[in-house]
Chain A
Amino acid sequence: MWKGVLPVNVEQIDDVLVVALPARLDAVGVAAIENNLNELVTTHKGKVVADMSHVDFVASLALRMLLTNLKALQPLGGDLRLASLQPQIAEIFRKSRFDTLFKIYPDRESALVSYRS
């Protein structure tokens, strides 16, 4: 298990790691969590859900951070699925077509269910 000060809220539900991301994922926000999130995810090596319900701003660096974690997990048989995107964040994923890279769910529960099937 990862031990240390958590920059993000982390919860393990069965075999799924649920990570709640902070509100502002601008350059500063990303720098604050990037390393720890990466360590967390690569240690877990499995199913991860990023709960984005609090996120109200994403800079391109935040997309890169998510992409980096996705690319780290997939070869290990894991995945990073996104849940609860606020409308303006969903819009950014749509415009950048990052919505084609990630499996995106309306809420945390449906993201968890998707891992069970």
Chain B
Amino acid sequence: MLQDLLRTIPWFTYLDAAQISSMAASMAQRHLAAGDILFHHGEESYDCFIIVEGSVEVLIYVNGAEHRLEVYNAGDIVGEMALIDRSPRSASVRAITDSHLVVITEVEFKTLIGSNPEVAMRVLRNSTTRVRNTNQRMIGDLERKNNELLRAYQQLKAAQGDLIRLSRIEQELAVARQIQESFLPRQLPQLRGWEIGAYSRGAQAVGGDFYDCIELSDGRIGLVVADACGKGVTAALFVALSRSLLRAASQAPWIFQSGEILDAESILTGALWLVNDYICREHGDNNMFVTLFYAVLDPKNGDLAYVNAGHNPPLLLDAQCENLYELPEATLPIGIMANQNFPPQRTRIEPGYRLVLFSDGITEAMNPDGQPFGDERFHEVLYEDGHLSAKNLVSIVIAQVDSYAAGAPQADDMTLMIIAREA
């Protein structure tokens, strides 16, 4: 019986038997399954409800997201605010479990409140507690939001700091790149009966390759192509070091030591011994090394004395562009073993022949499928276009490599130098 049920609910304690019985006679009831909505936010309905059994949740929606404000259980009153101030529902209410509620109309509500000041007090206390709770929750939410904003602001500031640092590093790299470019010869030597073309491009802002043409005594010229281990800044530092040492060591005997003219072999072995020994002694712990081809060319007769310190063997292309010869014999690269000897070799660049010096960035340039340009393609270009001037031949090779790479990122530094003797 509803009458008996109402007696067990504290709200109805102060009603007399007649009031309870008349209320039970007219009172509507609601049965909700779990998930059923009791009323929606914004709805204009002015009944309130007392939960007899089960539990419901009070929900609001912020930016499409559902937030649970409160949970009410058996004995709790729900929805009395709309009834008191006659305004649309301020939130939605949904059953959490199957629930049984009695519907209190405005008339019945007045009867309840009138039955005893204690009941009125209880309604007031209920509402006040809810307002207080809501306030606290809002303040808590605001504090949390504030903290989140603060954190986001700090992260933003840190990211901005990173950006500034990055742009500073980029600026420094740009300066380093300019300095490194000044390590390449400003202009290639003009030798009667000879033509030299050269090109170098780093895979990163600064590179680990370099070429050089060093003026030596008696009109001779030192030709260098080198590749420091790795790429980027570490390699670039070793380029700066080895290039400067090699230049100084090659020119010093001629410039500073009474103008005595050394033979090509002495220049090569002396300079390389000094550079290698210095790097091994001072920087040996890094196990950094530089592969380097160094030749002394006498333009008067085409005599070429050379040392190949672990570099890709240079190629000699004959006058008919029909045969390529690899220059034989190499030693270990620079920087690996102290006190090492670099025995020089000799050959001659005959009229019409071309000497091709290069780094492995040319032959190992990758296409988008990860396949290297390769020796074969390189040789094909040399056979095909070897009759061109040295500068044009250099341009053609680089263009072929770039077209083969088809936009794939450059994996390694590329350097190419071609020395052509007129026929």
Instruction: Tell me the count of chain B residues lying within 8 A, CB to CB, of chain A.
Output: 19
Assess A98 versus B411: contact at CB under 8 Å? Given A27-B230, A67-B336. no
Q: Is the beta-carbon distance between A64 and B288 smaller than 8 angstroms?
A: yes
Q: Which of B229, B313, B336 contacts A95 (CB 8 A)?
A: B313
B277 contacts the other chain (CB 8 A): no
CB-CB nearest in chain A for B412: A59
Q: Does A100 contact B (CB under 8 A)?
A: yes
Chain A residue contacts of B230, Cβ below 8 A: 27, 59-61, 64
Contact (Cβ within 8 A) B289 A64: yes
A99 to chain B, nearest CB (A): 10
For A61, list chain B residues within 8 Å (CB): 229-230
Q: Please report which residues of chain B, range 253-291, place their CB below 8 angstroms from some CB of chain A when the two chains form the complex.
A: 287-289, 291
Docked CA distance A96–B308 (Å): 9
- Contact B287 A71, beta carbon cutoff 8 Å: yes
A68 part of interface (Cβ distance < 8 Å): yes
0/1 interface trace, chain A 78-117, chain B, CB 8 Å (1 if under): 0000000000000000011110110000000000000000
Contacts of B412 on A, CB cut-off 8 Å? 59
* Cα separation A100 to B310 with both chains bound (whole Å): 11
Bin the interface of chain A by size: 10 to 19
Q: Which of A43-72 contact B (CB under 8 A)?
A: 59-61, 63-64, 67-68, 71
Binds A, one of B49-57, B149-157, B325-333, B344-352: B325-333
Q: Is the interface of A mostly helix, strand, loop or mixed?
A: helix
* Complexed CA–CA distance, A95 and B287 (Å): 19
Q: Across the interface, which residues of B come within 8 angstroms of A68, CB to CB?
A: 287
Query: Which A residues touch B313, using CB under 8 A?
Result: 95
Q: Does A11 contact B (CB under 8 A)?
A: no
Interface of B is mostly: loop
Residue B231 at the chain A interface, CB threshold 8 Å: yes
A26 on interface, CB distance cutoff 8 Å: yes
How far is it, in angstroms, between the C-alpha of A100 and the C-alpha of B407 when the chains are bound? 38
Is there an interface contact between A96 and B333, defined as CB atoms closer than 8 Å?
Answer: yes
In the complex, A101→B332 CA distance in Å?
9
Question: Which of B231, B288, B312 is in CB contact (< 8 Å) with A27?
Answer: B231
State A26–B410 Cα separation when bound (angstroms): 13
Cβ-closest chain A residue relative to B208: A60
Chain A CB within 8 A of B227 CB: yes
Chain A nearest CB from B10 CB (Å) reads 65
CB distance from B232 to the nearest CB of A (A): 9
Partner of A97, one of B229, B288, B332: B332
> B411 is contacted by which of A26, A95, A101 (Cβ under 8 Å)?
A26
CB within 8 Å for A67 and B227 given contacts A95-B312, A95-B313, A96-B333: no
Shortest CB-to-CB span from A88 to chain B, Å, is: 9
B-chain residues with CB within 8 Å of residue A98 when the two chains form the complex: 310, 332
Chain B residues 377 to 423 lying within 8 A of chain A, measured CB to CB, are 411-412
Checking A26, A27, A97 against B333 with a beta-carbon cut-off of 8 angstroms, the contacting residue is A97
Complexed CA–CA distance, A100 and B227 (Å)? 20
Given A59-B412, A60-B229, A61-B229, A67:B287 Cβ within 8 A: yes
Question: Which residues of chain B come closer than 8 Å to A97, judged between CB atoms?
Answer: 310, 330-333
Closest to B284 in A: A71
Q: How far is the CB of B338 from chain A (nearest CB, A)?
A: 12
Shortest distance from the beta carbon of B197 to any chain A beta carbon, whole Å: 24
CB distance from A115 to the nearest CB of B (A): 24
B310 CB contacts on chain A under 8 angstroms: 95-98
Whether A64 pairs with B312 at a CB distance below 8 angstroms is no
User: What's the Cα separation between A96 and B312 when bound, in Å?
Assistant: 7
Sorted nearest first, the 6 A-B pairs with minimum C-beta distance are: A96-B310, A60-B229, A97-B332, A68-B287, A61-B230, A64-B229
Contact surface of B with A, Cβ cutoff 8 Å: 227, 229-231, 287-289, 291, 310-313, 330-333, 336, 411-412
Q: What are 6 contact pairs spanning A and B, CB under 8 A?
A: A27-B230, A67-B287, A71-B287, A96-B310, A97-B331, A100-B332
